[in-house]
Amino acid sequence: MLSATNYDEDYALWAEEQAHLLLQGSFAALDTVNLADEILDMSRRYHDALEHRLTVLLAHLLKCLVQPDHKSAHWSATLAEQRKRIARLLKTSPSLKPRVGEYLADNYQVAVKQASADTHLPMTSFPAENPFTIEQILDSDFEP
C-alpha cells in the first residue's frame, strides 16, 4: 500500500496512512520527509510546553516575592498547577530536565515582563536576575 494521501491535502488521513504503513512494515512507502518533520515537531511541542510552564511559574513566583500582601488562592493554585504539569512533563520526558535551567535563564525577562504587566509595577520592581534556585522553583512547598 503506497501512501496515497498528500500531507498538505488531508493531514488526518495522511497520518493514519503513515501509521498503517509503519505497522505493516511498509517502510519504503512512507513519506519519510514529512514523517520526520512531524516527529521533530512533537519533540518541539514538549520543549515549548516546558518553557511556557516554567515562564508562567516564574512570573507567579516573582509576583509573590514582590507583592507578598497580595498573595491569593489563585496565585497559589497557579503555582501548584504549573508545578504539577512540569513534573508530569519531566516524568514522561526525563531528557528535558537538563534544559530547565536554560529555559529559566532564557525566559527570566519574559517572566518579569509578565509579572510587571499583571501587577502594574515597573519592571525595575523585580530582581534583575532570577533570585530562585531550580530546586525552589520546582518545590511544591516553596512560596516566597
Mean pLDDT per segment of 10 residues, for the chain of length 144 residues?
A: 73 93 94 94 96 98 94 92 98 96 97 97 97 97 94
* 129 inside domain: yes
Are 104 and 54 in contact by the 8 Å Cβ rule? The answer is: yes
pLDDT of residue 100: 97
Full residue range of the structural domain in which residue 90 is found: 46-138
What are the backbone angles phi and psi of residue 78, rounded to the nearest 5°?
Answer: -65, -45
**Could you give the number of structural domains in the chain?**
1
* 26 inside domain: no
pLDDT of residue 39: 94
For the residues of 57-99, what is the DSSP string, one character each?
Answer: HHHHHHHHHH-GGG--HHHHHHHHHHHHHHHHHHHH-GGGGGG
* 117 inside domain: yes
d(CA 63, CA 116): 8
pLDDT of residue 3: 52
d(CA 71, CA 84): 20
* 8 inside domain: no
* 83 inside domain: yes
* 32 inside domain: no
* 133 inside domain: yes
Are 80 and 44 in contact by the 8 Å Cβ rule? The answer is: no
Are 86 and 61 in contact by the 8 Å Cβ rule? The answer is: no
* 74 inside domain: yes
Q: Where are the alpha helices (DSSP H) in the chain?
A: 11-24, 32-66, 73-92, 100-119, 134-138
